[in-house]
Amino acid sequence: MSLLQRAELAPADPILGLTEAYNKDERTDKVNLGVGVYLDEDGKLPLMAAVREAQQRYLAKGLAHGYLPIDGLPAYREAVRDLAFGTEVDSSRIVTVEALGGTGALRIGADMLRQLAEESTVLVSDPSWENHRALFTRAGFTVDSYRYYDQDARGVDFDGTLASLRAAEPGTVVVLHACCHNPTGYDLTDEQWDRVVDLIAERELFPFIDMAYQGFGAGLEQDGAVVAKFVAKGLSFLLSTSYSKNFGLYGQRAGALHAVCADADEAARLLSQLKAIVRTNYSNPPAFGAHVVATILADDALRAQWADELEHMRVRIATLREQLVAGIEAAGVTDMGFIAQQRGMFSYSGLTTQQMVRLRDEYGIYGTNAGRLCVAALNDGNLAHVAAAIAAVRA
Ligand code: LMR
């Protein structure tokens, strides 16, 4: 009897499993609001002009496909480090390793923390990106949650967040969303971040910041300012970044893990450990996406073009939110104006699992069972259908 016979059927992934089901759906008016992917006015995944130009430049060189170093393309590592931290920071104490998207960065970070702090618990927000809990659990941690979302007030339960963090043991790993909280779309204010940073320092908690949506919240610099607060406080922490969304490089798996250390010596030790983790998992990261990002960030004109395109996406999503609210109101449901207040790609709609299943079964509209809808996939062609369907399942 083969060992393989012991495998049990695992449930479909709560997010990517929706795409699988959507792809099989034969209805022509189906809409995938499950996964966080930005689609343009025509419902297509856009190839950003800056990305097109950078990839043409790279391909024109006619390079063969060699291995990258274990920790990734040096020019990419520097460029994304500067994007996340700015150029003023003491870079000798920051380690940046290229990773397989934001998820890959979280995973190598989780594996490293597990090696260093086997006894620590990991706290994720309640609710959080579905994969946070799964990923840290698979890395061997006990995962618990801190209070975050206030369903009645439609916003952040900030007193709850503070109370949870205050109650956490020193050394607890706290996973924080830098911006565009996934799934709720509610971020902390500037002042609230200051208080969280102070409390983390006071309680000696260990921050692991996840920044998958830089540029989709308040803007590129504003979103990155959260990270600067942790640096300014002198904290050591991990930061995962993704260029899937803000460069539209989803399939290239361009991400990075940054470790902000006490000093250069600690940074060197961290880097050696991260390299061992990468080497034993996938040896070294892919090159193409890294070259594209590095090319754009190193060229003033391309970088400006990219930032403009990103800003267009950010502003357009805000408009889509307003249009969705108007559409739902026109269909008779008047208490969902909060959708326009949320930020980033997602709206936490407040719809129940049963209503989400109805959206899927009766209308071909796919969102997560927890009620998350990707508003960044709306357009003139599907918005009325989505608004009417939401109103219908709420009726
Ligand atoms: C999402 O939350 O939809 C995205 O981060 C994509 C993913 O990997 O789940």
Q: Are strands 173-177 and 206-211 parallel, antiparallel or unpaired?
A: parallel
Active site residue 61: no
263 C-alpha to center of ligand 1: Å? Answer: 33
Question: Which listed residue (129, 187, 223, 306) is catalytic?
Answer: 129
Q: Are strands 173-177 and 121-126 parallel, antiparallel or unpaired?
A: parallel
151 C-alpha to center of ligand 1: Å? Answer: 22
Q: What is the pLDDT of residues 169-227, one digit of tens each?
A: 999 999 999 999 999 999 999 999 999 999 999 999 999 999 999 999 999 999 999 99
Q: What percent of the chain has pLDDT over 90?
A: 99
Q: Residue 322: its pLDDT value, please?
A: 97
Euclidean distance between CA atoms 83 and 86, whole angstroms:
6
Euclidean distance between CA atoms 180 and 203, whole angstroms:
25
Amino acid in the structure at residue 97: V
* Residue 24 pLDDT class (50, 70, 90 cuts): very high
Q: Residue 347: its pLDDT value, please?
A: 96
Structure tokens belonging to residue 377 = 């996939």
Q: Which atom of ligand 1 is nearest to the CA of 212?
A: 5
* Residue 149 pLDDT class (50, 70, 90 cuts): very high
Q: Are strands 365-366 and 31-32 parallel, antiparallel or unpaired?
A: parallel
Task: Report the residue among 18, 35, 128 best suited for mutation to probe ligand 1: largest number of ligand atoms under 8 A from its CB.
Answer: 35
Instruction: State yes or no: pLDDT of 395 exceeds 90.
Output: no
Task: Report the residue among 20, 39, 131 best suited for mutation to probe ligand 1: largest number of ligand atoms under 8 A from its CB.
Answer: 131
Q: Are 196 and 176 in contact (CB under 8 A)?
A: yes
Phi, psi angles (nearest 5°) of residue 241: -130, 150
Active site residue 275: no
Query: Among candidates 155, 204, 145, which has minimal Cα distance to 175?
Result: 145
Ramachandran region, residue 38 (left: φ > 0; alpha: ψ -120 to 50; beta: rest): beta
Instruction: State yes or no: pLDDT of 72 exceeds 90.
Output: yes
Euclidean distance between CA atoms 200 and 168, whole angstroms:
10
Structure tokens belonging to residue 194 = 């200051």
Structure tokens belonging to residue 329 = 């109101």
Amino acid in the structure at residue 42: D
Question: Which listed residue (111, 157, 187, 210) is catalytic?
Answer: 210
Query: What b/e sequence results for 47-64 when a residue is b if at least 16 CB atoms lie within 10 Å of its CB, and e otherwise?
Result: ebebbebbbeebeeeeee
- Mean pLDDT for 223-233 is 96
Task: Report the residue among 129, 135, 180, 243 best suited for mutation to probe ligand 1: largest number of ligand atoms under 8 A from its CB.
Answer: 129
Euclidean distance between CA atoms 280 and 274, whole angstroms:
10
Instruction: State yes or no: pLDDT of 384 exceeds 90.
Output: yes
- Mean pLDDT for 72-86 is 97
Euclidean distance between CA atoms 197 and 204, whole angstroms:
10
Q: pTM for the full model?
A: 0.97
Q: What is the pLDDT of residues 336-380, one digit of tens each?
A: 999 999 999 999 999 999 999 999 999 999 999 999 999 999 999
Active site residue 193: no
How many residues would you count in the chain?
395
